[in-house]
Amino acid sequence: MTAPLPDSALDQLFRSARSYNGYLDKPVSEAQIHAIWEVMKYGPTSANMMPARLVWCTSPEAKEKLAATASSTNGDKIRNAPVSVIIGMDMAFHEQLPWLFPHTDARSWFTSNEALREISAMRNSTLQGAYFIIAARALGLDTGPMSGFDNAAVDAAFFGDTPNVKSNFISTLGYGDPATIFDRLPRPDFDTFNTFA
């Protein structure tokens, strides 16, 4: 049995962690990017389908191309972040299931059911995007997830050669600048949104 994490770890992952609008002038290395993946890949997805496809925009050219698809304020966030990440979703994820989930023919569950593929890709790539955020925080980095962008424009710019991959959401990544965050927004107590059945 595992022990509960100490309060300091829970603070870093959740209670004190914030979504940042800007970052300190401190680079994020390729080794750190690999380390995030090596942690987040262990988060569970349905039938181990792992539909997320990540594009790590590290060059000024890639960030500019991505920023051009976003709202004005989000565009500046993307340009100025050390790294900006597209969390995409592979609508043909089921083609990978023979090796990702080899103990049964899971691919056949999805081959003729486009609606099931779409909702499964969205649900599970979103989960993986959340694992990305938690992994980054666990490794001492900060994120700024966002949805203010043109999905079709992102797909055309970054997934033109893989039309089965669609964008889900974007996040910036780096060492957060505390001057760029707002006061903490409300977090309701248990009884507000929870019930027992």
For the domain that residue 133 is a member of, what is the CATH number?
A: 3.40.109.10
pLDDT of 45 strictly over 90: yes
* pLDDT tens, position by position, 160-190: 999 999 999 999 999 999 999 999 999 999 9
Q: Decide if 40 is inside a domain.
A: yes
8 A C-beta contact, residue 30 and residue 61: no
Res 37 pLDDT > 80:
yes
* Domain-located, residue 16: no
Say if 137 falls within a structural domain: yes
Inform me whether the pLDDT recorded for 145 exceeds 80.
yes
| Stretch 42-53: mean pLDDT | 98
Residue 149 within any structural domain of the chain? yes
Q: Measure the CA–CA gap between 50 and 42, rounded to whole angstroms.
A: 10
In a domain? residue 144:
yes
List 55's β-bridge partners, or say none. Answer: 86
Question: What are the backbone angles phi and psi of residue 19, rounded to the nearest 5°?
Answer: -90, 125
Pairwise CA distance, residues 82 & 64, whole Å? 12
Question: Is 9 within the bounds of a domain?
Answer: no
Burial class from Cβ neighbours inside 10 Å (0-12, 13-18, 19+) for residue 112 reads exposed
> What is residue 57's predicted lDDT score, i.e. its pLDDT?
98
How high is the mean pLDDT of the chain? 97
Asked whether residue 79 is assigned to any structural domain, the reply reads yes
Q: Is residue 124 part of a domain?
A: yes
Structural contact between residues 19 and 143, judged by C-beta atoms closer than 8 angstroms: yes
* Three-state secondary structure call for residue 192: helix
Predicted pLDDT of residue 1: 73
Q: How many domains does the chain have?
A: 1
Residue 122: domain span: 27-176
pLDDT at site 72? 84
